[in-house]
Structures are given as C-alpha cells and as structure tokens.
Amino acid sequence: MTATTTTTIPMEDTSVDMATPPTTPTTEKPHQCASCEKAFKRLNDLQDHENTHTGAKPHECPREGCNSAFANRSNLKKHVTAIHQKEKPYQCPYDNCKKRFKHRNSLREHENWHMGIRSRKCDSCSEDFFYSKCLYRHKRAKHLSKQ
C-alpha cells in the first residue's frame, strides 16, 4: 500500500470590491484630426480618417488581380463583401421565389417589387422605381444628358 500526499495550493483573493463601480465604456475621443473638427477613440481610426484629407488609399484589396484601394479599413471590408464574397445570406421570404441577396437593403427593394411598392422617386420628374439602380440609370439617361 502506498501513501498519498495531498498538496494544498493557496488560492488568490477573488473577492469583489463592491465599493468600486464597474468600469463603463468611455465616450472620450482623445485623437483629434488636425484638418477638421473630428475626433476619435482609437488612433488607427484617426489615421484612416486623415487619409480622406490627403487622398491616400493605403488599404489595398488582398484579392489577386483586384487593384482597388481604400482610405479606410471599413470601406475595404465593404468592398470585399460586396465584390468578392459569394455569400448571399438574405433570402426572399416569398413562396416560389428563390432569390438571395448579399445586402439586407437589396432584399428590401426586392420585397417592394413583390408588393408593387415603387419607393424610389426621381426628384426631377417624379417618375418612380422599384430599385435604386433603376432610378440611378434613369437619372443618368434622362436628366444628366440635358445639362
């Protein structure tokens, strides 16, 4: 028969000081743009913003063969999602319609088509459209060529 030895490991004090309130998210924006009034919480957000003043586009699309570049990370992410990703997570809820969309707004426009709602109106001639892309093409063809 062998003897067993029990080792006791001291535990750290894990009590919570109830007198100290929990930290709250800060609204402080210490990083001020030198060119305008905007301020940012994070330095990298300020650096991205400053690119809008200088015209720099350091955020290049990682996709081989795509030469797109952007002033900030957010626009790069939107580009990759819209142009390069095949995923279409938004499915039309109407029976017998199998259409899927990358963006929720595109699904909403499509649903308006099902309901017969033309929510896009031309501010020059009051013609209305189901889709914003159709309104855009209309404006280019009918109103921009007359200037």
Has residue 52 got a pLDDT over 80? yes
When pLDDT is cut at 50, 70 and 90, the band that residue 88 belongs to is confident
Same fold: 31-84 with 90-146: yes
Rounded to the nearest integer, the mean pLDDT of the chain is 84
Distance CA 5, CA 29 (A): 57
User: Quick one: pLDDT at residue 24?
Assistant: 62
CATH code of the region 90-146: 3.30.160.60
Q: Where are the domains of the chain?
A: 31-84, 90-146
Start-to-end C-alpha separation, the chain: 102
Has residue 147 got a pLDDT over 80? no
User: Quick one: pLDDT at residue 145?
Assistant: 62
Has residue 34 got a pLDDT over 80? yes
Looking at domain 31-84, its CATH superfamily turns out to be Classic Zinc Finger (3.30.160.60)
Has residue 23 got a pLDDT over 80? no
Give one DSSP letter per residue of the chain, joined into a string: -------PPPPPP----TTSPPP-------EE-SSSS-EESSHHHHHHHHHHHH----EE--STT---EESSHHHHHHHIIIII-----EE--STT---EESSHHHHHHHHHHHHT---EE-TTT--EESSHHHHHHHIIIIIGGG-
- Region 76-99: what's the mean pLDDT? 90
pTM of the prediction? 0.44
- Region 93-121: what's the mean pLDDT? 92
User: Quick one: pLDDT at residue 14?
Assistant: 47
Please give the share of the chain, as a percent, with pLDDT higher than 70: 80
